[in-house]
Amino acid sequence: MPPVSGSLAHSHSRGETLRIDGTNVVRVPFGVRRARRARPERPDRWVTLVLPFQSAPTPTPPQAA
């Protein structure tokens, strides 16, 4: 395995496995999540579209008894 440059936290964040010489220990970065595909960049300005639930005016309420 090639030597890893940088600190343990840095190599852990990149998802590299580390073999400790003289032991049977292999450090594996569990819990490192990576997206399967890149998320698109968000636009600077969002457009809001408001859709009414009712197209006709509301009916008058019934008379109280």
The rounded distance, in Å, linking the Cα atoms of 45 and 37 is: 23
What is the tens place of the pLDDT at every residue in 37-58? 888 888 888 888 888 777 667 7
What is the tens place of the pLDDT at every residue in 9-41? 666 666 666 666 777 766 666 666 667 788 888
Would you kindly state where each structural domain of the chain is located, as residue ranges? Answer: 1-31
Report field, pTM of the whole predicted structure over 0.95? no
Please, what is the average pLDDT of the chain?
71
At 20 the pLDDT is 67
- At 19 the three-state DSSP class reads strand
3-state secondary structure 37-48: CCCCCCCCCCCC
